[in-house]
Amino acid sequence: MLPRRSPCLHLRWTACMYPVVLLVFLYYYVDSTTSAAKSPDNIAVLAEVSLTSSALQDTTLLLNKYAFCHNLSHSNDHNVQASCDNILEPKDVFISVKTTKGYHDTRLPTIFGTWHQLFPESVYYFTDVDSELLNKKTNYHFINTGCGASHWRSSLCCKMAKELEHFLETDAKWFCHVDDDNYLNVPELFNLLERYDYTDDWYIGRRSTAMPVEMVLHTELDKEEDLRFSFATGGAGFCLTKALVLRMKPYLSGGKFIALGEQLRFPDDLLVGYIIEHRLQVNLTIIPEFHSHLEDLHFYDSSLLKRQITISYSDQNTITIDGFSRSQDPTRFYSLHCHLFPKYASFCP
């Protein structure tokens, strides 16, 4: 009996090979589109789309913790009730991001594609121009302060005053300031704040100097006043309780904050520290998990990243972490987000 001939021998070669060619084409097409999707131009879009479920997941975890404690409110176990007294909801923390028009298209997309989506209702942006597009994108949390766009102290103090004044109009218990070059580990921030009583005066952050600031202040009456105080650098972020910000109110309204900054020649974060530590006599609580680009971030131990509150970057100073290539992720924030939330960010490599 002769062996059965393949039916392909009775057909044209191209017709027989079509399924094979199609499979090869699809393989390379999928590979190329995946690579293109993770190009620098598309990674932000992918991140925003894929992290929508991440935001819901993480917010749900936080709300479940709150609901658990809320359900125990009728319990007779006072130890359990006490452990739940400081549980925070997203609306309890006012996260203020200072930005400017020059960074709306560069720095902000990275924030929108990563940590912003974890707790969007907590995040407010303070800038110097109107943007209807970004206002809608942030659920109308995009505020034109009317301040200048420069990095000069008058513009910085103007924005800080607007941030604090806007916070006082809300029911939030905590005010937390970050810059637009910060990655904020929001769940870890909530865990930190829950250790402190929001009804007391708390000033939480990290110094950019090893020791407190020491200087001689020349007053209007030609007298000298020795100053020694600490301040939390705005580049690493800091947090204040509402109780403390209410005590700062006499220094904020009516342009007083800007005027005091000009008088002392202090930028915004230094002025906040001066008012709180020197005038109000509330000491800075130093939290080493806040980080600015003034530190050397290259050699930071990546195994400790999950417990850090903020991370920053500059052109030549970023954390070292596996993930996207440098060209795709120059800030390393997308790679960091994938490291912290690998189950939720489907855009990760």
pLDDT tens readout for residues 116-162: 989 999 999 999 999 999 999 999 999 999 999 998 999 999 999 99
pTM: 0.81
Whole-number Å distance between alpha carbons of 209 and 183 = 21
269 in catalytic set = yes
**pLDDT for the residue 68:** 55
- Residue 267 pLDDT more than 80? yes
**pLDDT for the residue 32:** 39
- Residue 268 pLDDT more than 90? yes
The answer to whether the CB of 274 falls within 8 A of the CB of 266 is yes
The answer to whether the CB of 243 falls within 8 A of the CB of 317 is no
Whole-angstrom CA distances from 148 to 127, 128, 155, 202, 309 are: 9, 6, 5, 30, 29
Half-sphere exposure of 340 (CA within 13 A, CB side): 26
Q: What is the pLDDT of residues 177-224, one digit of tens each?
A: 999 999 999 999 999 999 999 999 999 999 988 899 998 887 766 778
Token digits of residue 76? 């007779």
Catalytic residue among 269, 296, 315, 322: 269
**pLDDT for the residue 7:** 42
**pLDDT for the residue 65:** 59
**pLDDT for the residue 5:** 45
User: Percent of the chain having pLDDT more than 70?
Assistant: 74
226 pLDDT tier (thresholds 50, 70, 90): confident
